[in-house]
């Protein structure tokens, strides 16, 4: 497995969250660095930056590539006209099915009494 493929899922998820405006390579690399760097597996930001840059460059060459360059120099975004990107957008949107904060919490009554109810 090539070194740049190691971070592919992290790069794609960051770009999916970025939307149509895209992100510069350094910000994508910083997000991937924050995701991958732990106490037990430290990584260097320069290594991540080079891997992210290589992956973005390799996966933005053709018209139907997963990512594409934005109008600004050094910015990348998900290529929404790509069939592979459309499928990924569906998969990532299914993963984000968390309940919203605006929903009212349900009032759940305990089925059994409290531990010391009988003593009173």
pLDDT-based confidence at residue 115 (cuts at 50, 70, 90) = low
Whether residue 62 lies inside any domain: the answer is yes
Cα separation, 28 vs 76, in Å, equals: 9
Whether residue 90 lies inside any domain: the answer is yes
Whether residue 91 lies inside any domain: the answer is yes
Whether residue 25 lies inside any domain: the answer is yes
Domain that holds residue 66: 3-95
Residue 11's CATH number:
1.10.10
Contacts of 120 (CB under 8 A, 6+ apart): none
Whether residue 60 lies inside any domain: the answer is yes
- Tally of domains within the chain: 1
Cα separation, 22 vs 16, in Å, equals: 9
Whether residue 47 lies inside any domain: the answer is yes
Q: Which residue, 66, 65, 70, 58, is CA-closest to 23?
A: 70
Whether residue 109 lies inside any domain: the answer is no
Cα separation, 6 vs 52, in Å, equals: 10
Q: Express each pLDDT in 16-59 by its tens digit.
A: 888 888 999 999 999 999 998 888 888 899 999 999 999 999 98
Q: Note the pTM of the prediction, 2 decimals.
A: 0.67
Whether residue 28 lies inside any domain: the answer is yes
Contacts of 37 (CB under 8 A, 6+ apart): 43
Q: Express each pLDDT in 64-90 by its tens digit.
A: 888 889 888 889 998 888 777 777 666
């Amino acid at each position: 497995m090539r070194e740049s493929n190691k971070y592919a899922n992290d790069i794609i998820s960051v770009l999916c969250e970025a939307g149509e405006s895209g992100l510069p390579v350094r910000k994508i690399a910083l997000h991937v660095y924050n995701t991958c760097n732990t106490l037990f597996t430290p990584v260097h930001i320069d290594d991540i930056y080079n891997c992210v840059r290589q992956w973005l460059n390799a996966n933005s060459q053709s018209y139907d590539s997963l990512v594409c360059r934005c109008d600004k120099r050094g910015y990348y975004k998900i290529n929404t006209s790509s069939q592979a990107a459309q499928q990924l957008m569906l998969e990532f949107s299914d993963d984000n099915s968390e309940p919203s904060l605006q929903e009212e919490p349900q009032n759940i009554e305990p089925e059994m009494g409290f531990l010391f109810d009988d003593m009173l």
